[in-house]
Amino acid sequence: MPVPATIVRMARDLWYWQWKTLMTGLAPADKDGNYVRPKANFLQISPQTAHLVEKSRYTLIVGRSCPWAHRAWLVWIIRNLRETINVIIVEPDRKRGKWRFVTPFNGCHNLYDLYLLCGSPKSQRATIPVIFDQKEMTIICNESAQIIELLNNWPASMESPELMPFSYQKTIEKWRELVQFDINDGVYKCGFARQQSAYTKASATLFEALGIMEENLNKNGPWLCGLHVTLSDICLFPTLIRWELVYAPLFNCNRHLLWQFPSIWQWRQRFFSLPGVADTCDSEAMVSDYFGSLFPLNPSGIVPDNPSLASLVLSLIPDPRHYE
């Protein structure tokens, strides 16, 4: 027996009201429905450079699904900082909305408890990435943009690359700004838009930025700033490696397919193939956390199947004639 149309309309109106209520708690928006990233109270203490070489003193805390933590993890990998800073990977506890330690760390079972242990107020959001000082029992920094700069200046071997050389600084900052606001935040502006007009605006801005990236890589590649990997590449990769798995299907970032930007597609292949990078890319963790945690966007909680990340990233660009 079909459900009466009146009941269907009432259910839709009720669900829409509940959806807006849930979205308000998940992702704040302005009066026009545009997602506005909430301000966070970041912590930062400048460590003494001489202390940075002390083994086992500092720990970088990251999570496999978080793109902001991913960028810090990538700097640690690419600059080969294993000898001077440890890495701990936390996992999401979706029922409690916290990051939890696989094994207790300094007596703490979750990241929020570690923040409290370090003297943070109870109102402080326990976010990743984090650099923790074991000797002073304090959090040095929990802001990803600052952490990647700190790690770029961390003592390393002579073979470790400089990811923000002085001669490239202005160019790097230009690309980092575009990546941060129009791409890293841009996918969230699409996914968390409250109104059609807000989504349309965000989608247009996002794909315009990708078009700028495509043109630059085509003319000036192989990397965003030319011949060398820099922090601008580091900031772009975590978003693009999650594209087909998360942002296109869940956040509606699908005005164009990523392979329709061939220079970006090849750039992602090159970056993914850098030593150690593939080990930081856990497709199962990415998909399960996004689809399992963001109830307003995926109320069924169903986590979709996905192809092997390596086979997806390293595949050849399809022949456009097959899609005409």
Are 199 and 190 contacting, i.e. CB atoms less than 8 angstroms apart?
yes
Question: Who's near 68: CB < 8 A, 6+ residues apart?
Answer: 127, 128, 129, 144, 238
Are 293 and 286 contacting, i.e. CB atoms less than 8 angstroms apart?
no
CA quadruple 167, 173, 178, 181: dihedral, nearest 10: 160
How far apart CA 249 and CA 222 sit, in angstroms, is: 28
Residues pairing with 25 in the sheet: none
Tell me if 127 is assigned to a ligand binding site. yes
Say which of 66, 190, 253, 281 is annotated catalytic: 66
Are 238 and 225 contacting, i.e. CB atoms less than 8 angstroms apart?
no
Question: Who's near 217: CB < 8 A, 6+ residues apart?
Answer: 223, 224, 263, 264, 266, 267
Nearest Cα to Cα of residue 294 among 254, 324, 252: 252
Annotate 206-246 with DSSP letters as a single string.
HHHHHHHHHHHHHHH-SBTTBSS--HHHHHHHHHHHTIIII
Tell me if 99 is assigned to a ligand binding site. yes
Residue with tokens 């060398």: 228
Active site (annotated) includes residue 168: no
HEC secondary structure over 5-60: HHHHHHHHHHHHHHHHHHHHHHCCECCCCCECCCCCCCCECCCCHHHHHCCCCEEE
Tell me if 131 is assigned to a ligand binding site. no
Tell me if 126 is assigned to a ligand binding site. yes
Tell me if 167 is assigned to a ligand binding site. no
What separation, in Å, do the N-terminal and C-terminal C-alpha atoms of the chain show?
Answer: 42
Active site (annotated) includes residue 247: no
Say which of 35, 168, 188, 199 is annotated catalytic: 188
How far apart CA 151 and CA 75 sit, in angstroms, is: 7
Show binding-site residues for glutathione.
99, 125-128, 143-144
Annotated binding site: 99, 125-128, 143-144
Active site residues: 66, 188
